[in-house]
Amino acid sequence: MIRFENVSKTFAGGLTAVRDLSMVVPEGETVALLGTSGSGKTTTMKMVNRLIEPTAGRIRVGGVDIMTQDPVALRRTMGYAIQHIGLFPHMTVAQNVAVVPELLGWPARRIAQRVETLLEMVGLAPEEFRERYPARLSGGQKQRVGVARALAADPPIVLMDEPFGALDPITRDQLQNEFIQLKSKLQKTVLFVTHDVVEAVKVGDHIAVLHEGVLHQVASPLELITTPANAFVRDFLGQQRFQLSLMVHAVSPLIDPSGAASPDSAASETPHALQPADSLLHALCTFATARAASLPVFERDRYRGSVSRAAVLNTLSNIIRQMGDGP
C-alpha cells in the first residue's frame, strides 16, 4: 500500500509541481494517475521511488516513511517501467530483464529461470528473444520486455510511467488487455501514469485526476464517469464521456434470467456469448456482428440468462439523458 499524506513538491526554480496531495493506493490495486502534461502526475510517481523528493508531506509504503529508508534498497523493491527508451540498448533482452535480480545478487541459475518465466508470461518465446538486442525488437516487444523487467524481482509495488504511450493504437490495446489479465493474476500494487482517459478507465481500479499539481478526484472508473467531481474533471473527460460510459457500465444488470431456456451448447461453442462483466461497448460490438435480438450470457461456463438488444439500447438512451442533466 502506498499512502500520500499532504505531499507537495516545489522545484528549485520555484515551480510547484504537486500541491498538498493526499491519497492511497490500496494493496493489490491499480491506481491510474491521469492528467495532461505538466499536471504533476509523473512527479507524483517519481516521489514514490525517490527519484524526486517531496518538499513537504510524507509518503508511506507499507506503513513506513520512505524518507527513512535507503533509496537504493527502496527502489529495488519497486518495479519501474517507462515509455519507449527504457531498455538498455547494449544489453540483451535477458540482461535487461535481469538487471534488478543481478543487483540483488541472485544466483545465476535462479536468474536464468526467472527470465524464462517472465518472458513467457509477457508472451515472448524465451529461446527466440532471450539473446536479442532491443534494436531488433518492435515497439510492442520492447514494451513487453519493459513490463517483464519491472516485474523481474517480483516486487510488491510497480510504478509505470506511460508504459504503452509510444505504441500504435492496435498494439496498445492488445498490451493493455494483456496487462489487465496479468495484474489480476499477480495482485501487484500499481501506480500507472497516463494522459489517456480510455487507458486509465481500462487499467485502473481507481483513477486519480491531477491538474496543475492539484488532485481533483480519486474514484472508480464508473464513479468518475457518472459523477465527475467538478467542472474540470467533466471537461477533461469531455468528448469521450459517452464512449467511456459504455466502457464502465457492465451488462450484468441487464441480464434476464428467464429470457431463454438454457441452451444446449457450452459457452466456448457459442460464437456470440457475453460475460456478465463485459461492458456495454463490448455488448454493442457483439450485437453488431451477431445481428441477433438477444445474446446468451455465461459466467465462466454457467448459463446466466440473456441480454436483449432492446435492453442495451434502452440503457444507452438513459445514459445520454443523464449526461444531459449532469453537473
Q: Does 73 bind other proteins (CB under 8 A)?
A: yes
**Contact (CB, 8 A) for 18 and 47:** yes
Q: Does 90 bind other proteins (CB under 8 A)?
A: yes
Q: Does 103 bind other proteins (CB under 8 A)?
A: yes
Among 13, 14, 72, 109, binds other proteins (CB under 8 A): 72
Retrieve residue 81's grid coordinates: 517501467
**Contact (CB, 8 A) for 88 and 134:** yes
Taking the alpha carbons at both ends of the chain, their separation in whole angstroms is 33
Cβ atoms < 10 Å from Cβ of 272: 12
Q: Which stretch binds other proteins (CB under 8 A): 3-11, 117-125, 130-138, 274-282?
A: 130-138
Q: Does 11 bind other proteins (CB under 8 A)?
A: no
Retrieve residue 8's grid coordinates: 507537495
Q: Does 12 bind other proteins (CB under 8 A)?
A: no
Show the site string, 20-49: x = touches other proteins by CB under 8 A, - = not: --------------------------x--x
| DSSP sequence for 216-229 | EEEE-HHHHHHS-S
**Contact (CB, 8 A) for 187 and 181:** no
- Count of residues binding other proteins (CB under 8 A)? 25
Among 31, 147, 159, 210, binds other proteins (CB under 8 A): 159
Q: How far is the CB of 134 from other proteins (least distance, A)?
A: 6
Q: Does 86 bind other proteins (CB under 8 A)?
A: yes
Q: What is the rounded distance in angstroms from the CA atom of residue 84 to the CA atom of residue 278?
A: 31
Helix (H) or strand (E) holding 190: strand 189-194
Give the binding site for other proteins (CB under 8 A).
Answer: 46, 49, 51, 72-76, 80, 82, 85-86, 88-92, 99-100, 103, 133-135, 149, 159
